Amino acid sequence: MLDPRFFERDPASARALARAYVQMSRGDDDYNTALNRLLNPFERPRSLADNLEASRRYLVDVNAYLAEVLDLIPHDMRKFLAMDAEVAALNDALGLLDLAFRGDGARVRFEAQRKLYLAKLLFDIDHDPGVQMGPLHKAYFEDLLVKAFWSKATRVKPIDLFFELADDGMHITTRTRRARFDDEKWSFHLARVRWPGRRPIHVYHYGCRFKREMAPFQYTSGEAEYRIEERPIWETLHERRSGSILSKMIRKGEVHPRKIQDIIGSMFIVKDEPEVETLQDTLYDIFGGPLHWKDRVNTIRFPEERDRLNTHSGDGYEVLKSDVDVVYAPAGNQRPYIFSVEVQIYTIEGFLRTVHSRHYASHQRLKLRQFLEALLPRLFPVSVYGDKTILNCLRRLEETVAV
C-alpha cells in the first residue's frame, strides 16, 4: 500500500477494502466487528472503546515516525513532504479509509492509505514472536557469554588510547599518552580473556543491543574525550519504538518482521586481526560451530567481500560479521527453537579509523544520504510528490555529504 496505484494494481484487495469500508460505515457494532478482526484473536474480542484506543496509538506512532524521518532531511525541504493536516489529525481507521477512497486529491488519498499501511506494519512488528521475545533472547545470549566467555577474563582495567590518523586516511598510530595536540582520546574498559589453549583476547569494547531499544553510538567531534555510549532511538514513538525495524522493512521491501535478521546485534572490538580469528573460533565453540554461522562476511581479511555488505558501508569499513543461530529452550517443556544474533567483530585500529573526527562527520552524512535514498522514494513516491521535489531533496543531501 505504499504504491500510489495499489488499488489499480490489486483490484481484489481494493474491492475487499471497499467492502470493509462500507460495512464499517454502517454503525458502531459493524465497525467494532471489523476492528476485532484486525486487532484481536477471534475468541478474545474487545470493546469499541478499547479497539479505537489501540488503533489510535499505532496511527499516532505513524505521525511520529514520519516526523522523525523528515527531521533527517534539510529543513527547507521538509515543508514539501509534510503530511496533509487532515490526514495527520485523523487517528481513526474508518476516517482514514474514507479519505483513502474519497479524499480531495491524489496526495491526500495516498497519505491516508500510507498511514493505514504503516500502522499495520507497526502492529505486525508489535505482534511478531521474535520481536516480543527479543529482550529475553538478548538476555539469554548475554548470559551464555557470561558463563562461557567472560568467566575466562583474567583482567579488566580502564584504558585511554590517544591516536592520530595518517594523511592517507587509513593508517593509525595509537599510544597511551598524548603526543600531539590534535590526538583524539578514546576511553575503554579493556578485558583480557584467555580461552584454554588459545592466545589471549583483548576486548576493548563489547555491546549487545535490541533493535527496538538502542541505536549504535554517535558522538560529536571536538570533545575532550570519547567513549562508546549507545542512545535510545525513536523516542517520540510510544513504548514500542519500532522505527528502526519499520525503516528496514520499508527499505528492503519486506512485509514480514521475521525477515529482519538483526533484531539483536552484538559488537566486539579486539586488538588485531589474529585476535579477530581467535575470538571467532572461541564463539564457534560456545555457539555450536560454523554451521550455526550464516552470511559470514570478513572485510578485514577479504576486502573484496565488502560488496556483500549493505550500501551504507564505506570503502574503508573493516568488520567480521555473521548471523549466529542460538538454540534456545523456553521455560517448561516447550520444544527448543533457534533465534539469530548479528555478531560484528572489529579491530581497534579499524574502529578508530572509522570514528576519527576528520572523516566521521562526512561518513555519517554519507550513511544518512544512503539511508534516505532507499527510504524516501518509498515513503514519498515521485508520482505523488513530484520528481522535482524528491530530486531536490536528494541533491541537497548530496551537497551536505560534500561539505
The better pLDDT of the pair 2, 169 is held by: 2
Assess whether pLDDT exceeds 50 at residue 14. Answer: yes
Task: Tell me the average pLDDT of the chain.
Answer: 84
Largest CA distance in the chain: 77
pLDDT range class, residue 232, cuts 50, 70, 90: low
The better pLDDT of the pair 363, 87 is held by: 87
Assess whether pLDDT exceeds 80 at residue 323. Answer: yes
Assess whether pLDDT exceeds 60 at residue 348. Answer: yes
Q: Give the pLDDT score at 311.
A: 52
Q: Give the pLDDT score at 22.
A: 94
Assess whether pLDDT exceeds 50 at residue 296. Answer: yes
pLDDT range class, residue 396, cuts 50, 70, 90: confident
Residue whose C-alpha is closest to residue 76's, from 350, 402, 399, 403: 399
> Which ranges of 106-163 does DSSP label H, i.e. alpha helix?
106-126, 129-132, 134-148
CA torsion through residues 73, 76, 81, 85, sign? positive
Which cell numbers hold the place of 159?
584504558
CATH of 130-355, one of 3.40.190.10, 1.20.1440.130, 1.10.600.10, 3.30.460.10: 3.30.460.10
Q: What's the Cα-to-Cα distance from 166 to each of 22, 346, 362, rounded to whole Å?
A: 68, 19, 17
Q: What are the domain boundaries of the chain? A: 6-127, 130-355
pLDDT, tens digit, for every residue of 126-155? 999 999 999 999 999 999 999 999 999 988
Q: Give the pLDDT score at 239.
A: 45
Which cell numbers hold the place of 78?
521538509
Per-residue pLDDT, averaged over 7-25, amounts to 92
Write down the residue that cell numbers 505486525 correspond to. 124
Residue whose C-alpha is closest to residue 346's, from 367, 318, 323, 322: 318
- Which of the 8 DSSP states describes residue 335? P
Which cell numbers hold the place of 366?
554519507
Which cell numbers hold the place of 381?
513516491
Please answer whether residues 293 and 340 qualify as being in contact, where contact means their C-beta atoms are separated by less than 8 angstroms. Answer: no
Q: Give the pLDDT score at 223.
A: 55
Which cell numbers hold the place of 299?
572485510
In terms of Cβ atoms closer than 10 Å to its own Cβ (0-12, 13-18, 19+), residue 121 is: buried
Integer Cα distance of 58 and 39 in angstroms: 11
Per-residue pLDDT, averaged over 352-369, amounts to 62
Residue 403 neighbours by CB distance under 10 Å:
7
pLDDT, tens digit, for every residue of 80-118? 999 999 999 999 999 999 999 999 999 999 999 999 999
